[in-house]
Structure 1
């Protein structure tokens, strides 16, 4: 590909205001082209773009097109920054009145240098909030689409759509269905703004000449008008990719706006590295309907504050690596991106770091017996594989969805107190918390990754990447949080790709309790061969899943009317139905023992997940305390559930 950077603007408001500013603060910038003004971190704006595109792996050549009035400034910049001076194209204009226009400037470079490759076009005077996005990801996305590519971003609250080219983008195909150049307020709902950052196929370059012939006035030869014509009138296939950052075209602002945005973006840069991002996701209990979530059924589940997984993301600047060069001529491998310091004995290089948990990801053992016991109870690699799989799937998702990420490095670590292998959704809690951190770090919004799709994403991390048997219920309730009704009917899942999820009122909930085995077996085994029987259409299983859904509808009504005795009866029915389908042999003696113990105290009881724990509802507080003692004497862990209500926690600043 060829990259062309446009810096041929004339006589802007900003240049004039700098010239006549009477404070003396900006006198050293008088006459300086917009692209050579200070950007984020003190670097010139053009320095950032040159660093971004200066890669032979992507671009065979990079050209700069400027005007005769400012040519000397860019010639001096080129010699100081190892930019080939012969690649600076002078359009010959010296005033605003004799300018060629942005589209004509692009055509000048293409014709004068006889370019016949795909083109990337960037405005070199564009201030970007994030200074290190992955342009290779942009090129890969462009290559995957049968058309041109426009980069866009989401306007900040203070920005008006009337100052930008606004696009409407199909969320599925990423095709731009409509482009309006600086529309009046209210004309279009979209807040997605196009920036001068385009990829154009070589076969489409002929449209430049057609457009210029239609627009004799240089003022009308803007890229906004060009894309408006191509998309709305010619109906050319043009696609959009989002950069989750902010942009300002300095040529369109005055001195006050320039300094305001420069300060705003600089503060963002300063804030991010110093503030670790910590997110929690909570364990959940299935109150009714499970395990029908994996069988087009309905369920109600609730997040609980007793148990949680917490992930912390900290931006990593560099990692120090030691190289011993005193006695051997060892050459450091794969460190070419770093720089050598302290007499060639240390290197600094960026790295993504996943920190093993000291308890859940052990790599040191006191003995072989110690290794055996820990592996039997904790499994292999604990949560570390969940972090890695989530990061991998996140990058893949963003690339496919047309979201370009910054090339920032980070360190991820996690902690959790959710007991393993008792069916409380401990794995998905770690994935969910990791995803929350990544979304915050990369400025991915709910519009980019809506809650229903987020639940699907978390499930895919576990099923596609790690081959964990799982259903959607856990992921949905951990994304929405609180008490959630879920309908996974076949029609909904096929039509929209996800179910119907409704948050329910949590005020005045009765005392639910939870008990689990201190030494559980693998909870995933409880599913047995039920799925195969369901897929083959066995009537008993199909009818059971329909009954689970019917129980859930009745339970929803009971919760809404605060009819707790009916809810308790429905929970008991849920377990008995599950027992007939899965059989006692599959449920296992440990689960059956806990169920029988709870019934001795008149409590409702069922499995909250895939096995290893039971959840119940006891309306008699005295019996609840007696039952607690009995469970503890039987060697089980017992606790009264603390429902996690996201609305209360958010209001109190705990979430």
Structure 2
């Protein structure tokens, strides 16, 4: 299995918050890509590399990044290349974009990695601004995916956690059957539009048989707004079989929650947890 970490975002909300912070306490975060933000004792993305390596889930980690933007002196590509030089199993791929308006979108970044590295294996996709609570285990994810693959080589796997009723408008919400197979995924629905409260974070295991469908999806969406191609959850939603189409069966693996670093308050909360509350850093996410 290969891992693709999606790290090509521009962190506009976070950088706006840092610039507006009058205390100056977070000025050192200016121009830093979200995956490279210090969380606890290391960069956010380093938690993933350590856990992926320790759990032996993947044999290679690909990180898709942007070049950065000269207007804010955010030279992301160079910073990621320097960070990656400390690991032997990580490769960096630039999407060659230089602004948020010109971004490719997460699904296109995934397709870029699959084609560039000629991936013909199962792929674990991870959002570069996301970490999970301590009950999460890559080894358990690997075991669950292996069980699904033994039943059907078409099977894909996503994560799910319970969100509050008022938060359904923030996330993709999954509806599942008794076998925990996804029936549909509703993007940011009103609480009255679904009984489900199963939020779906950016962490997916796609079977190798599903990878050619990236081309089909992006071809269908080539004239669509960037928002329809940006969130990888849109591909997951499209992938789920319906009455009219059959693509790939998608199942869930349940976890308790996540840290989603989107703005300065969410970053502060995440960093504080890893500095003061993380129980066992050595086994975290393994």
Q: TM tier, shorter chain?
A: 0.7 to 0.9
Matched, 1:152 2:152: no
* Corresponding residue of 1:562: none
Superposition TM-score, scaled by structure 1 size: 0.38
Matched, 1:136 2:136: no
Matched, 1:62 2:78: no
Separation (CA, whole Å) in 2 of partners of 1:208 and 1:219 = 16
Matched, 1:170 2:169: no
* Corresponding residue of 1:545: none
Give CA deviations for 1:398-433 in whole Å, capped at 9, x if unaligned.
Answer: xxxxxxx966xxxxxxxxxxxxxxxxxxxxxxxxxx
Match for 1:237 among 237, 249, 269? 249
Separation (CA, whole Å) in 2 of partners of 1:10 and 1:238 = 30
* Secondary structure at 1:71 match in 2: helix
Report the CA distance shift for 1:120/1:406 in structure 2 as closer, same or farther (over 3 A). closer
* Corresponding residue of 1:19: 19
Report the CA distance shift for 1:107/1:75 in structure 2 as closer, same or farther (over 3 A). same
Matched, 1:105 2:109: yes
Separation (CA, whole Å) in 1 of partners of 2:275 and 2:99 = 35
Instruction: Mark the structure with the bigger radius of gyration.
Output: 1
Report the CA distance shift for 1:115/1:55 in structure 2 as closer, same or farther (over 3 A). farther
The offset of 1:163, in angstroms, is 0.7
- Contact between 1:150 and 1:197, CA under 8 Å: does it hold in 2? yes
- Contact between 2:174 and 2:185, CA under 8 Å: does it hold in 1? yes
Superposition TM-score, scaled by structure 2 size: 0.84
* Residues 598-609 of structure 1 mapped to structure 2, 5 A cutoff: none
Match for 1:115 among 93, 97, 119? 119
- Contact between 1:179 and 1:232, CA under 8 Å: does it hold in 2? no
Which structure 2 segments of 5+ residues have no match? 69-75
Separation (CA, whole Å) in 2 of partners of 1:192 and 1:59 = 27
The offset of 1:82, in angstroms, is 1.7
- Contact between 1:7 and 1:125, CA under 8 Å: does it hold in 2? yes
Matched, 1:8 2:19: no
Match for 2:259 among 238, 242, 248? 248
- Contact between 2:2 and 2:59, CA under 8 Å: does it hold in 1? yes
* Residues 299-314 of structure 1 mapped to structure 2, 5 A cutoff: none
Report the CA distance shift for 1:158/1:22 in structure 2 as closer, same or farther (over 3 A). farther
- Contact between 2:260 and 2:266, CA under 8 Å: does it hold in 1? no
* Corresponding residue of 2:77: 71
Which structure 1 segments of 5+ residues have no match? 274-316, 319-336, 338-349, 351-404, 408-655
Separation (CA, whole Å) in 2 of partners of 1:266 and 1:136 = 21
* Residues 470-481 of structure 1 mapped to structure 2, 5 A cutoff: none
Matched, 1:182 2:188: yes
* Corresponding residue of 2:209: 203
Separation (CA, whole Å) in 2 of partners of 1:267 and 1:84 = 26
Separation (CA, whole Å) in 1 of partners of 2:93 and 2:251 = 29
Separation (CA, whole Å) in 2 of partners of 1:267 and 1:185 = 35
- Contact between 2:136 and 2:285, CA under 8 Å: does it hold in 1? yes
* Corresponding residue of 2:52: 53
- Contact between 1:53 and 1:135, CA under 8 Å: does it hold in 2? yes
Larger helix share, 1 or 2: 1
The offset of 1:6, in angstroms, is 0.9
Separation (CA, whole Å) in 2 of partners of 1:204 and 1:122 = 17
The offset of 1:78, in angstroms, is 1.1
Q: CA RMSD in A?
A: 2.6
- Contact between 1:169 and 1:178, CA under 8 Å: does it hold in 2? yes
Matched, 1:82 2:90: no
The offset of 1:5, in angstroms, is 0.9
Structure with more contact order per residue of length (Cα contacts < 8 Å, sep ≥ 6):
2
Matched, 1:225 2:234: yes
Separation (CA, whole Å) in 1 of partners of 2:249 and 2:23 = 50
Separation (CA, whole Å) in 2 of partners of 1:167 and 1:184 = 13
Separation (CA, whole Å) in 2 of partners of 1:197 and 1:77 = 22
The offset of 1:101, in angstroms, is 0.6
Separation (CA, whole Å) in 2 of partners of 1:257 and 1:35 = 14
The offset of 1:56, in angstroms, is 8.1
Give CA deviations for 1:458-510 in whole Å, capped at 9, x if unaligned.
Answer: xxxxxxxxxxxxxxxxxxxxxxxxxxxxxxxxxxxxxxxxxxxxxxxxxxxxx
